[in-house]
Amino acid sequence: MHRTRRVHKATSSRAMARLQGREPIAILGAGHGGQALAADLALQGWPVHLYNRSPERLQPLLKAGGIRLEGAAGRGWARLARVTHDLEEAVTGTSLILVVTPATAHIELARQLAPLLRDGQTIVLCPGRTLGAWHVVDVLRQYGQEGNVTVAECNTFLFASRTVGPARSMVHAVKARVGVAALPYERTGMVVQQLRQLYPCFLPAADLLETGLDNIGMLFHPAPVLANLARVEAGQPFEHYTEGISPAVARLIEALDKERLAVARRLGVKLRPARLWLAETYGAAGSSLYEALQKQQGYRGIPAPRSLATRYLWEDIPCGLVPLASLGRHYGVETPVANSLVHLAGAALGHDWWSSGRTLERLGLSGLSVSELRETLRTGSLPGRKPWFPTPMESPSQIARGRTAALPVSISSPAPLPVNIADVGQVAAGNELLR
């Protein structure tokens, strides 16, 4: 699908004046996606607080005084309101916190955020991978956070992006729709409304099971890396999607996708096969998954990992394949392909993914019936436990700004929204190359 290229002028005094009427947005994670997202939002006139745990990653941005955005989303020079490795400094004064780190960093971030969060703040995991928002809520609760804070997750990122040089971000492709679910679920409409102030492509998902099982990264990332293990370990350059996914590798991914869809059906979740996901998200249609991937022009030029220390394994296995297999095991769905990929990666890297990944036992969700699981992932509380969220519910926007929130977005239908691609092309997230 062709995206219209948008040109942003450098941040001018007029653009800076617009910042005075907008609340700052915190972006946690200054990797490939975090920098692209920060640049694009700043070019739209939003004051951005960009945080990264290690100050070394921030030095090129501080030295340059901003980020240059290039590629499918448009181009321009963006100046950020705040660049910091101090988490409290990043989130103070913000209502919206966008977490764009790898999912493996979610729990440590939640521990550090727990004493810093204030009533009315919204955390959005971009994305949550599988059951990420539940995991974060559980950790916030354990660390004493009992305020009126909303946690939500996206099923994917809107951009495929790379940092291509010091303070330079390239967007390779743009997604047309991004699903969102919040805890408790009644706040999903409110969160979608907040996000649509930034981009019009966000739409409500049915619940965290839908966003979690619609995690396409677990399909497109680990299997191609494991199928090209020698090339990746040797650091040989090749394109991940066009060269790393041959017809045979694509059939392996399709077999894994059938397991994902079977688990979803058992849990009452309606999902699209990966081939249709490519068609709806990127406009890349094909009679097979291999053909659709080859037609996805935005994937061309995206390099494969050059070492085994890649989030395509270290994030997508524990936060994607492991919870998928765990759900299958608990609810009577066989997942031999997912199990095999986890075992193969464990043998190759010498790591026990089952003990470190998001199993239902580790998440405190084992022993629930299907209906109890779905209710828990809609309310944010286990059966018989006191709700974490205050009731009657006020929206965080009402608390943070002291005024009545706008009408919530309807959450009754997950139908795709009409999207003007020329106006959409601008979100990125994640600390590594996005799908």
Nearest to 417 by CA among 220, 212, 205: 205
Phi and psi at residue 393, in whole multiples of 5°? -85, 130
Nearest to 46 by CA among 12, 15, 75: 15
86 is catalytic: no
316 is catalytic: yes
**CB under 8 A, 24+ apart: contacts of 377-385:** 377/131, 377/134, 377/183, 377/207, 377/208, 377/209, 378/183, 378/184, 378/185, 378/207, 378/208, 379/183, 379/184, 379/185, 380/134, 380/137, 380/151, 380/183, 380/184
Tokens representing residue 332 in the block:
């009577």
Cα atoms found within 13 Å of the Cα of residue 398, Cβ hemisphere only: 11
Place of tokens 């293990």: 229
The 8-class DSSP code of residue 386 comes to P
Which amino acid is located at 259 in the chain?
A: E
From the centroid of its chain, how far is CA 112? 20
Calculate ∠ Cα 205-208-213, nearest 5°.
90
Q: 239: burial class by Cβ within 10 Å (0-12, 13-18, 19+)?
A: middle
Say how many Å lie between the first and final Cα of the chain, rounded: 16
The residues, ordered by sequence, that sit 6+ positions from 412 with a Cβ below 8 Å of its Cβ are none
Of 138, 214, 257, 316, the catalytic one is 316
Of 221, 240, 257, 330, the catalytic one is 221
Distances (CA, A) of 47 to 51, 188, 193: 13, 24, 19
Please tell me whether the peptide bond between 184 and the residue prior to it is cis, using omega within 30 degrees of 0: yes
Nearest to 130 by CA among 24, 208, 40: 208
The residues, ordered by sequence, that sit 6+ positions from 107 with a Cβ below 8 Å of its Cβ are 135, 136, 139
From the centroid of its chain, how far is CA 417? 19
**CB under 8 A, 24+ apart: contacts of 341-346:** 341/222, 341/223, 341/226, 341/256, 341/317, 342/317, 344/226, 345/222, 345/226, 345/313, 345/317
Catalytic residues: 221, 316
